[in-house]
């Protein structure tokens, strides 16, 4: 992870570098730094902790200079201290890095043997030293970079500033994304285009293995074999204005509230609401597919789990699903011609991308449900299935999740129709049900106040269990993930039927048990599990509808009542209360909701 930025400008850059880093904080936020050339000399400012600490440093000790690089860090090698913060400097070279240099130990040993003195515990510092040694031996910056890159193993995006070179920034990309921005007499580098949105919307994405030489006139790009290459210039819609918090206290609150709109946009893209049809997704022939494999991480994985239920039930299409970090190492036997679907908000998650590449090698057709259309996963897929959630800033995914669910539900209906497992009337019923989701989500949003009260009552718990069956099971998993990552309360999601195989041992009056159970064909089974919890004094928080409450056979400690709805769409709507419960519990606990400790939004390391 980590965010990197570079500006080759005509006016002082320090403030602009920090503004850009703010847009990249989703990639990491445990320390930050910038370096500029002041009168030809390297100067640097770094600070542990959030970007505001660096901002304060910059206000106290302003950096001049019209060329510079910056970094916001998510620590991998070496703790999140000022000493380990980027940029790292050796000799005339300053480097910022996103990724991991896997062979840094052997490189470091060799450099130390050659007399290099290291200042940090990071893997990154070896890059600065390797470049510095090459420059000291008289090589040009360009040759020094080409040579250094060949010695590095692992994944990285790099931005490099060299003392004495007032019209030069160097960049390289292997495994981690990097965008070059072209302005008027200025050029820029950023981990994504959003970081550069205030400066330019003219973007060139470096491709795998590329490295680049920037001056104020433009960029020259070389491929992994050092051959000059042309990469397309993209003129992006500027989304700069979309990443403001507005009147909300947190991005997460804003993003939860946006769900009726963004789900509506996403559904309208995949469904013909007037005709009551699911649009056949271009490039996907579900009738010809025998199996689907899905891989994703975190919340996106839970969306995939719900998708599995939908594809299997509606389209009778078997789905294998695994977290991407296991999938890629499982050596899954895949029949050539099969379909693999990858789900990712960022489109940059390292394990998901590696799984995609594994499936490509195995001759699969690759489809990606992604929120960032310019991301690596989108660019490496045969079929891009966009979620139209807009930029998601809160580290905990909310609107991207419900949009992923909306895409998968629409696809499952299209697959069912293509495979003849539902008729036109059933397709119409399902599409009409999906069309109701934005309205039902709005109704769920109206429960915020009462869910906040429940948050106040559970915030001191040290364990919380979430139970669900069928498509409510992944929602229970998602609820538990959200609560633990935001409020730091230990939480587990369990398939309700598994309760008696272990977690029931945890239950006493101090343990809130959130039961996600719309009144559907599985309700009675879940109700029995709820009785087992009640018999042991557990404090039940039941998320259900009127009928479910009437059939619960007990009075829960707390009830969150949602409107009645067709069971197929329930997981999308039931996601809202579990988001609110995690959000408000975290707010009471005073944790950093948008940037919880130790996490990052885009996980580009393995
Ligand atoms: C991180 C984020 C999660 C996200 C997961 C997968 O852990 O904090 O919110 O679900 O990565 O990210 P992706 O971008 O691939 O959906």
- Give the pLDDT score at 391: 87
Q: Do 43 and 86 fall within a single domain?
A: yes
d(CA 536, CA 22): 48
d(CA 256, CA 581): 12
Q: Which of 603, 604, 605 to mutate to test the pocket of ligand 1 (most atoms within 8 A of CB)?
A: 603
- Give the pLDDT score at 275: 87
Is the separation of the CB atoms in 385 and 278 below 8 Å?
Answer: no
Return mean pLDDT, the chain.
Answer: 93
pLDDT classification of 240: cutoffs 50, 70, 90: very low
Q: Do 52 and 88 fall within a single domain?
A: yes
- Give the pLDDT score at 241: 40
Domain boundary (414, 435, 456) is at 435
- Give the pLDDT score at 236: 79
- Give the pLDDT score at 299: 97
Does ligand 1 come within 6 angstroms of the Cβ of 482?
Answer: no
Ligand 1 centroid–CA 255 distance in Å is: 15
Give the residue-averaged pLDDT of 93-111. Answer: 93
Least confident segment among 135-144, 388-397, 409-418? 388-397
Kindly report the number of other CB atoms within 10 A of residue 237's CB atom. 8
Domain boundary (435, 464, 497) is at 435
Closest residue to atom 5 of ligand 1, CA basis: 298
- Give the pLDDT score at 584: 97
Give the residue-averaged pLDDT of 314-323. Answer: 96
In tens, the pLDDT along 80-97 reads 999 999 999 999 999 999
DSSP 270-292: HEETTTTEEPPPTT--GGG-S-E
Least confident segment among 201-210, 342-351, 542-551, 580-589? 201-210
Does ligand 1 come within 6 angstroms of the Cβ of 148?
Answer: no
Least confident segment among 74-78, 396-400, 428-432? 74-78
- Give the pLDDT score at 365: 96
pLDDT reading at 239 higher than 60: no
Q: Do 122 and 181 fall within a single domain?
A: yes
pLDDT reading at 423 higher than 50: yes
Does ligand 1 come within 6 angstroms of the Cβ of 579?
Answer: no
Domain CATH for 491: 3.40.50.10490
Q: Which of 294, 341, 349, 381 to mutate to test the pocket of ligand 1 (most atoms within 8 A of CB)?
A: 349
User: In 3D, which of 80, 443, 525 has the Cα closest to residue 260?
Assistant: 443
**Both ends of the chain: CA-CA distance in Å?**
10
Q: Do 123 and 262 fall within a single domain?
A: no
- Give the pLDDT score at 242: 56
Residues recognised as catalytic: 2, 601
Q: What is the DSSP letter of 63?
A: -
Q: Do 387 and 470 fall within a single domain?
A: no
pLDDT reading at 50 higher than 60: yes
What 3-state DSSP class applies to 72? strand
Q: Do 115 and 146 fall within a single domain?
A: yes
- Give the pLDDT score at 243: 65
Query: Which residue is it, tokens 């294998």?
Result: 320
Ligand 1 centroid–CA 603 distance in Å is: 7
320 or 242, higher pLDDT: 320
Q: Do 127 and 151 fall within a single domain?
A: yes
- Give the pLDDT score at 450: 97
Query: H/E element holding 126?
Result: helix 125-136
Q: What is the DSSP letter of 175?
A: B
Residues with Cβ within 8 Å of 223's Cβ and at least 6 positions away in sequence, in order, are 207, 209, 210, 229
Does ligand 1 come within 6 angstroms of the Cβ of 395?
Answer: yes
Does ligand 1 come within 6 angstroms of the Cβ of 303?
Answer: no
Give the residue-averaged pLDDT of 334-348. Answer: 94
Residues with Cβ within 8 Å of 155's Cβ and at least 6 positions away in sequence, in order, are 99, 100, 174, 175, 176, 350, 604, 605, 606
What is the sign of the dihedral through the CA atoms of 265, 267, 272 and 276?
negative
Radius of gyration for the alpha carbons in the chain, expressed in angstroms and rounded: 25
Does ligand 1 come within 6 angstroms of the Cβ of 306?
Answer: no
What is the sign of the dihedral through the CA atoms of 24, 27, 33 and 37?
negative
- Give the pLDDT score at 543: 98
Is the separation of the CB atoms in 254 and 584 below 8 Å?
Answer: no
In tens, the pLDDT along 471-491 reads 999 999 999 999 999 999 999
pLDDT reading at 585 higher than 80: yes
pLDDT classification of 188: cutoffs 50, 70, 90: very high
- Give the pLDDT score at 265: 86
Ligand 1 centroid–CA 525 distance in Å is: 32
Ligand 1 centroid–CA 299 distance in Å is: 6
Q: Do 393 and 481 fall within a single domain?
A: no
Residues with Cβ within 8 Å of 128's Cβ and at least 6 positions away in sequence, in order, are 88, 89, 90, 91, 93, 94, 95
pLDDT reading at 322 higher than 80: yes
pLDDT reading at 426 higher than 60: yes
Q: Do 181 and 61 fall within a single domain?
A: yes
- Give the pLDDT score at 280: 84
Range of the domain at 9: 3-247
Number of domains composing the chain: 3
Q: Do 442 and 580 fall within a single domain?
A: yes
Does ligand 1 come within 6 angstroms of the Cβ of 387?
Answer: no
Domain boundary (232, 247, 262) is at 247
Domain CATH for 122: 3.60.20.10
241 or 552, higher pLDDT: 552
Q: Do 584 and 605 fall within a single domain?
A: yes
Q: Do 312 and 404 fall within a single domain?
A: yes
Give the residue-averaged pLDDT of 140-152. Answer: 97
Secondary structure tally for the chain: helices H, strands E: 20, 27
The first and second tokens of residue 109, run together, are 């040993």
What's the CA dihedral at 442, 448, 454, 458 to 10 degrees?
100
**Cα separations in angstroms, 456 against 22, 241, 450:** 31, 34, 10
């Amino acid at each position: 992870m980590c965010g990197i930025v570079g500006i080759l400008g005509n006016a002082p850059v320090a403030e602009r570098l920090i503004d850009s880093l703010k847009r990249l904080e989703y990639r990491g936020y445990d320390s930050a730094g910038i370096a500029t050339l002041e009168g030809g000399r390297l100067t640097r400012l770094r600070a542990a902790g959030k970007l505001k600490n660096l901002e304060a440093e910059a206000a106290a000790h302003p950096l001049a200079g019209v060329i510079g690089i910056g970094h916001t860090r998510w620590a991998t090698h070496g703790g999140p201290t000022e000493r380990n913060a980027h940029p790292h400097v050796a000799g005339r070279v300053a480097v910022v890095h996103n990724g991991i240099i896997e062979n840094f130990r052997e490189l470091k040993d060799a450099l130390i043997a050659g007399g290099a003195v290291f200042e940090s515990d990071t893997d990154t510092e070896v890059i600065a030293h390797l470049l510095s040694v090459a420059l000291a031996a008289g090589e040009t910056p360009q040759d020094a970079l080409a040579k250094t890159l060949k010695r590095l193993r692992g994944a990285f995006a790099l931005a490099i500033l060299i003392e004495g070179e007032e019209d030069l920034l160097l960049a390289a990309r292997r495994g981690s994304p990097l965008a070059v921005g072209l302005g008027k007499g200025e050029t820029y580098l950023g981990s994504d285009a959003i970081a550069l949105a205030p400066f330019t919307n003219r973007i060139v994405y470096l491709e795998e293995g590329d490295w680049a030489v920037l001056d104020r006139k433009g960029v020259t790009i070389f491929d992994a074999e050092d051959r000059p290459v042309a990469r397309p210039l993209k003129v992006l819609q500027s989304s700069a204005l979309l990443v403001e918090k507005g009147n909300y206290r947190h991005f997460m609150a804003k993003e939860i509230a946006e769900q009726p709109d963004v789900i509506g946009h996403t559904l309208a893209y995949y469904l013909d609401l007037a005709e009551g049809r699911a649009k056949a997704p271009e490039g996907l022939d579900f009738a010809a597919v025998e199996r689907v494999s899905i891989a994703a991480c975190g919340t996106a994985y839970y969306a995939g789990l719900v998708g599995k239920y939908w594809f299997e039930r509606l389209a009778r299409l078997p789905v294998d699903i695994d977290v991407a970090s296991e999938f890629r190492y499982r050596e899954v036997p895949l029949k050539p011609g099969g379909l693999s679907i990858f789900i990712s908000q960022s489109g940059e998650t390292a394990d998901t991308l590696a799984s995609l590449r594994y499936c490509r090698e195995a001759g699969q057709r690759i489809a990606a449900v992604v929120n960032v259309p310019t991301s690596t996963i989108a660019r490496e897929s045969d079929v891009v299935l966009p979620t139209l959630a807009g930029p998601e800033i809160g580290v905990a995914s909310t609107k991207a999740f419900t949009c992923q669910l909306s895409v998968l539900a629409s696809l499952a209906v299209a697959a069912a129709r293509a495979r003849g497992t539902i008729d036109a009337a059933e397709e119409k019923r399902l599409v009409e049900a999906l069309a109701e989701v934005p309205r039902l989500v709005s109704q769920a949003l109206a429960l915020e106040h009462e869910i906040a009260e429940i948050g106040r009552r559970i915030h001191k718990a040290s364990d919380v269990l979430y139970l669900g069956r069928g498509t409510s099971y992944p929602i229970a998993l998602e609820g538990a993930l959200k609560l633990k990552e935001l409020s730091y309360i230990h939480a587990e999601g369990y398939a309700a039927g598994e309760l008696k195989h272990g977690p029931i041992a945890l239950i006493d009056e101090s343990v809130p048990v959130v039961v996600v159970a719309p009144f559907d064909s599985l309700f009675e089974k879940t109700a029995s599990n709820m009785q087992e919890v009640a018999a042991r004094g557990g404090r039940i928080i039941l998320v259900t509808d009127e009928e479910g409450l009437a059939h619960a056979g007990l009075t829960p400690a707390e009830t969150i009542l949602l409107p009645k709805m067709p069971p197929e769409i329930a997981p999308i709507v039931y996601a809202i209360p579990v988001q609110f419960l995690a959000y408000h519990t975290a707010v009471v606990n005073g944790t950093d909701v948008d940037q919880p400790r130790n996490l990052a939004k885009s996980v580009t390391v393995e």
